[in-house]
Each structure stands twice: as structure tokens, then as C-alpha cells.
Structure 1
Amino acid sequence: MNKERVTVDISVWSVLKVILALILVALVYYLREIIILVFIAFILTTTLEPTIDRLQRRKVPRGLAIAGSFAVIISIVYLAFASIIPKLSEQISVLAGNLPTIVQQLGNQLFANNPQLASDLSNQAIEYAKNFRASVPSGLVSGFFSTAAGVFGFFVSVIAVLALTFYMLLEKVGAGRPIFKYIPVNEKNRAIHIFDKITKKLSNWLKGQFVLSGFIGVITYIVLMVVGLRDMALALSLFAALMELIPVIGPFIALIPAALLALTISPATAIAVMIAYLIIQQIENHILVPQVMRKAVGLSPLVILVGILIGAKVLGIIGILLAVPIIASLHVILEELYGANSKTQTRH
């Protein structure tokens, strides 16, 4: 039997394309922190640009409209923090001071049928809580410089995002003007269409996220005040609003501390909190999410969850928070490029 020799021709250009692709991937990974800041600024730009354009149509200079919008947003954020932070600090201080008592009450509730086990576990947990509380001052002193560096880095990132957003708005990056100059004429209309879809999705996602977080924060605060967790209502409702930024699993994370603290009051209170959180999530999932988020991004929960896991692995907490807008952008690109190609092939 004659064996046919199979030869595969690989051109130099094919090898170069593979090498260039690998270099590009490595470069993106190396510059990931800068790319994230640019992406966040781009999301803010797409959200603010319609307002800036409306002001400009009313004869307000674009630079003044941008500066005025920034001033209003920063003022609102400052007033919100100034009114919330003192109360929040007070509630956290009360929680830290009562930590041993809370742990003991929690142990008694969880292991009511086994007093000895409850006593042993409570004593160990109380000792740990006391050690943790005692170690906070020394830990703060020893970690002062690293904490200061982290805070400084955070503020530098915030300033960088604000500066990028300002100049993107000034140069109408959200409208794509600087980008389209470098795209071939025959591909320009398609690129504009894809770009417009991405910017619309990102803008709708951010607006929807604010709506959902605001709703969850306010309704959770009301529920916790009603069931008797008044001393921790603000802290827990803010935590729930922040966890809303993490799709799918965020609400379950928010439930854990609320249920445990409610259990220190009574099992009935804990059950009431869990039922209330469940009702809130049902309202959100069946009314708000379909109207706000699903129309905004059009992604299935499974795709979102996988994206969150990948984002957490690659970029940590930032990857979790940006998983949905990144996936939504990639979904638009793939849908437009490969969807259009498949339609063309079907016609032929």
C-alpha cells in the first residue's frame, strides 16, 4: 500500500500573524490596568455624552457643559458621602464593639440543642473576635504605609479616569470621531454601526446598574428598619447596593451578613429577613432586570456567570465589576462580524 505524503505549507506571513497576535495578547495583559482605566472612562463618556450634546445644542460651550456636569456629579457624590459616612462609621464602630456579644448570641441560636458545643464554639469565636478587635490598632500602624499607598493609588486612578473622561467628552470620543479617521472608507459605515451599538449598550448598562443598586439599597434599608435591625440598617443596605454591582451572585452575598445579624435577635427575625430579601430579589429578577438590564445588554445569566468567574481570575474584583460590559461589547462585535458573514453565506 502506497502511503501518500501530506505536506502543509505555512507561509511566512501566517507565522508573522501568529507572532503578532501573541505579542498583542502579552501587551494587553501587561497594560491591563491602564486599559481598564480607559475602558471605565469610555463607559462614563458614553453615559454623559447625550447630556453634554443636549447642553451644547442649547448654545452652552462644550467645555463649559462638561465642566458643569462634572461639578454637579462631584457635588452630589460629596454630599452623599458627607451625609452617609458619619452614620456608617458609627454603625461599624457599634458592630465592632458588640462583636463578642453578637458571636455568643449567634452560637446560642445555631446550637441551641447542644449547649456544650455552643459554649465551646462561642468561647473560641469570642476569643478570636477579641483578638481581632485588639489587633486592629497595631495592624493599622504596621500597615499604615501599604494602606496609604493603596489609598493614594486609588485616588490617582480616580483622577486619571476623570481626566480621561473629560478629554474623551471634549474630543467626542463617544461619538467615535477620532477613531473613524483611521478606518478604510469601505468599512467605515460598518464600524460606525458596531461602535454605536457598543456605546448604547454600555450607556444603558451603567444607567441600569444605578437604577438597580439604588432600588436595592433603598428597599433593603426600609425592610431592615421594619424587622428591627435599625442599628445596622444603613451599613447593610449600602452593602446590598454595592453587591448589586456583581450580577447573579451579588444578592446572595448581601443576604449572608443580614441573616446572621438578624439571627442574633431571634430565628423569627432571621427568617423574616431571608423572606424579605427573597421577595426583593423576585421583584428585581422578574420586573426590574427584564425591563432595565436584559434590554440593555441582552445576555443570559449563564454567560454572565462564566464571565464573572473569568473576570475574577484575570483581574480580581475589577474583573468581576467589568465582566458584563466587556462581554456585552464582545457580544456586539462577534454578532455583527460573524452574524453578518453567516447571513451572506446563506444568501449565496
Structure 2
Amino acid sequence: MARADDSTLPPRPRARAGSSDEPRSPDDTVAFGMRVAGAWSWRILVVAGVVALVGFLVVQLRSVAIPFFVGVLLAALLVPFCNWLQRKGWPKWLAVAVNEIAVIAVVAGLVTVVVFQVRSGLPGLQAQTLTRYDELKTLLLDSPLHLTEADINGYADALLTALRTDSNALLTGALAVGSNVGHILAGVLLALFTTLFLLIDGRGIWNWIVRLFPNRSRAAIVGGGEAGWLTLTTFVKVQIIVAAIDAVGIGLGAFILGLVDGRGFPLVIPIAIAVFLASFIPVVGAVLSGAIAVFVALIYLGPWQALIMLGVVILVQQVEGHILQPLLVGSVVKVHPLAIVLSVATGGFVAGIPGALFAVPLVALLNGMIGYIARGEWRTNPHPSVADVTTPTTPIPVRRARRASGT
């Protein structure tokens, strides 16, 4: 077949500027997946920057932030009871006064009991510790390890230095609340005042915060705040139950061990109170505070009794970790136990004991708020209290009626 002459072929159309054959901008040369990744990346960086800024401000203002957070947790515990008293006919001022006085009485009572118990038992504990140390040193000197007294003293000094360093790291956040009695008292008063004002006008404070946001976003913020507050209050009540069970379990185990041994178990009440307070740090709190009971058993009673006490602590921790946490705390927080452990570890690394204490309540609060906003319930069924913070000229029911009628 004869090849067609090129002169007989129709001319090829030239690509015009701005046509689809040529990129109109440098962004058109970037793959769609890369553009999506870039859009996500800068938004993630902005969110991370805001979170880092808030964390930096909290750390810098920790002398105010820690008492404030303690006051919020106390309010989360007391607000439902205060509202219940008012529904029973109590005046608001009387219900608030009863709750505030109850908090002061409980804290003062716990501090008084611990101080008197420790003052009476600490001298004996110190003397018995020195006795056990001398017995251990004699045992090591006579052992086949061929250790000298200098070696033992060196190991003891290294152990004490390591414990002192770790204790300082753990107590940094706690001591940041106040390095002396004046700062501690100021922190206690700030926590009590925070609790008092939240009991008196918590709703008004929240409404004022919501009004800082645009009117169209207030339904989501109000609903998310209500969901987060409900989760927080339930978490605090459940955590008190878990902490009480841990304290009773370890304290009762120590008491029975001392009763069976015949010599008694000293400092049972301070140990139980320490376990109760430490159990507000989920998963690890009961174990760390239970180590005190194991140490006291080792010093006063002996190694076999210390092993039994260790078994009691592990048993209580297993009951908490496999029964109480999944059934009670897990159903409230709705966060996987691994996430709880990581949040506690992260909080402790960043802010010491206060960070570990507030990590899980913060996760519970954010999980409730974000979950509510993500479900979109505020679009179709806004919370009734939204009407208190919306502009009077365009209330939520009117807007919903207008959308339903198409006007």
C-alpha cells in the first residue's frame, strides 16, 4: 500500500496556553495523594503547635494550674451531690456549704491521721531498718560472694543515690505546687476556692466561655462540654470506688498478715490511705504504693512475710487491672487499657506525679467531647442548654423550624 504524503494529512492542532495538555500551575504537577498528605500535615502541625503552647503555659503556671485541676476534679465529684440536695429542697447556699465543709473535714481528717500514725511509728521503722541493714551486711560478708564492707557500702550508696534521683524526678511536679508551707497553703486555698465557685456558678462560668465562640459553633461546644463533663463526673465517682477497693484490699491484707504473725503490722492506716490516694493514678498507683507495705513487712516481719505481702499487692493489682478497670473505668472512659497506660506514662514523664494523676481524667474528658462532636448529634438534636447561649433573635428551635419548612 502506498504511503500517504505528509502534505495530504490534516495539520496537528497546537497546544494553546492554559489547555489541559499543559500544567496551569506548579501545583498541578503534584500528585493528588501528596496534596492530601500536605493538607493533613500542616493542619496536624498547627494542632500540635497549639497543644504544645497550651502545655507550655500550664507548665509555666503550674503553681496555679495544679490546684485549679484539683478543684475541677473535686467539683466533678461534688456537683451531682450538690444538685441532688437542691432537688430535695435544700437551699443552694446550704448545699454548697455542706459540700465544701465536707471536703475540708475529710482532707483535714486524713492529714491528721497520717501525721499522728507516722509520728508514732517512724522511729521504730528507722531503728528496725538499721537492724535489718546490719543483718543483711553480716549475711553478705559471710556469703560465698567474698564481698567486703567497702563494696557493700558502695552498693548501698549507689542505691540510695539512684532512689534519691528517681524520687526527685517523681516529686518535681508535686513540689512545684509549693516549695514551702506558704505555697502549699496557697495551693490548697486556690483548689478550695475553685471548687466553691464551680459549685456556686459552674453553669454561668461555662456559658460565659461558650459565648466567646461564634454562634453557629455553640451547639457543638455546649453538647461536647456536657458529654465531657458527664464522663468526667462518672469517672471520678468510679475511680473513688476502685481506690477504696485497692486500699481495703492491701490494708486488710497487711492487717491479717500482722495478726497471723503475732507481732502486728505497723502503719497499716497510713499505708491504706497512701494506697487510696495513689490509686487515682490508674494501673500503676496501687502497685507503687503497695511497695511501701512490702518494705514495711520486710523490715518488721521478715522476708517470707514480705513475699506474702507482695503476693497480696499483686493479687489486688490483678483484680483492679482485669476486673475493676475494664468493667468500671473502661466502660466510662471507653479507652483501651494500653492507651490509659501510655497516657499515665506520658503524663508522669512530662509533669511528674501531677501529670500522671491528671492524664486519665483529661483523656476521659477529651474522649467524651470529641466523640460527641464527631457523631454530629448536635446538628439534629442539640442540647437543651444551647438556648441559654445562643443569640435571642435566632434561637435553635426557630432555626430548626425554618430549615424544616424550607424558609
TM-score, with length taken from structure 2: 0.66
The code of the aligned residue for 2:108 comes to Y
CA pair 251-41 structure 1, distance change in 2 beyond 3 A: closer
1:248 is the counterpart of 2:283? yes
Find out whether 1:30 has 2:57 as its counterpart.
Answer: yes
1:302 partner amino acid: L
State whether structure 2 residue 151 is matched by structure 1 residue 151. no
**Residue type matched to 2:339 in 1?**
V
| 2:9 alignment partner in structure 1 | none
- Residues 104, 122 of structure 1: 8 Å contact kept: no
The structure with the largest alpha-carbon Rg is: 2
Q: Does 1:39 align with 2:69?
A: yes
Is the deviation greater in 280-289 or in 198-207? 280-289
**Residue number in structure 2 paired with 1:290:** 326
| CA contact 1:214–1:241 (8 Å) conserved in 2 | yes
How far, CA to CA, are the matches of 2:140 and 2:302 in structure 1? 10
Structure 1 residue 67 displacement after superposition: 1.6
Identify if the C-alpha distance between structure 1 residues 197 and 256 changes in structure 2 by more than 3 Å, giving closer, same or farther.
Answer: same
- Selected match of 1:50 from 37, 58, 80: 80
Letter in 2 for 1:280: V
**Given the alignment of the two structures, is residue 320 of structure 1 paired with residue 340 of structure 2, yes or no?**
no
Q: Is residue 6 from structure 1 mapped to residue 26 from structure 2 by the alignment?
A: yes
Paired with 1:337 and 1:302, the residues of 2 have a C-alpha distance of 24
Mapped partners of 1:285, 1:112: distance in 2: 42
Which stretch shows the higher mean deviation, 225-234 or 121-130? 121-130
Aligned-pair Cα RMSD in Å: 4.0
Residues paired across the two proteins, number:
323
Relative contact order higher in (CA < 8 Å, ≥ 6 apart): 2
Contact persistence 1:99–1:129 (CA under 8 A): no
Whose helix fraction is larger, Structure 1's or Structure 2's? 1
The answer for the alignment partner of 1:304 in structure 2 is 340
1:196 aligns with 2:226: yes
Cα contact 1:239–1:254 (8 A) shared by 2 = yes
Deviations 1:147-191 (A, max 9, x none): 984332122111111112211221133894433444445443332
Please list, as runs of the form range in 1=range in 2, the aligned pairs for 1:170-249 lying within 5 A after superposition: 170-173=200-203, 176-228=206-258, 230-249=265-284
Q: Does the 8 Å contact 1:106/1:260 carry over to 2? A: no
CA distance in 2, matches of 1:286, 1:23: 36
| CA–CA separation in structure 2 for the residues paired with 1:272 and 1:281 | 14
**SS of alignment partner, residue 230 of structure 1:** coil
CA deviations over 1:187-240 (Å, ceiling 9, x no partner): 433323211221112112222222222222222122112223612433433333
Once the two structures are overlaid, the 10-residue window that deviates more, 198-207 or 177-186, is 177-186
Cα distance in 1, alignment partners of residues 337 and 231 from structure 2: 17
CA distance in 2, matches of 1:157, 1:179: 24
Correspondent of 2:314 among 262, 272, 278: 278
1:262 aligned to 293, 297, 319, which one? 297
TM-score, length basis structure 1: 0.76
Contact 1:103/1:126, CA 8 A, preserved across alignment: no
Matched to 2:335, the amino acid is: L
Residue 30 of structure 1 aligns with an amino acid whose one-letter code is L
Paired amino acid for 2:330: R
Q: Which residue of 2 aligns with 1:80?
A: 110
1:161 to 191, 196, 215: 191
CA contact (8 A) 2:224 2:373 kept: no
Change (3 A) 1:76 1:338: closer
1:58-92 superposed Cα distances (whole Å, 9 cap, x missing partner): 33332232122211221233233333421122222
Change (3 A) 1:98 1:199: same
Q: Aligned letter for 2:93? A: G
Query: Does the 8 Å contact 1:108/1:115 carry over to 2?
Result: no
Specify whether residues 242 and 119 from structure 1 end up closer, same or farther in structure 2 by C-alpha distance, changes over 3 A only: farther
- Specify the SS of the correspondent of 2:345: helix
2:365 to 309, 329, 336: 329
Structure 1, unpaired ranges of 5+: 9-14, 131-145
Q: Distance in 1 between matches of 2:231 and 2:359?
A: 13
When structure 1 is superposed on structure 2, of 95-104 and 302-311 the one drifting more is 95-104
Match of 1:134 in 2: none
Letter in 2 for 1:249: V
1:88-120 Cα shifts (integer Å, max 9, x gaps): 222223212332212234556789854743866
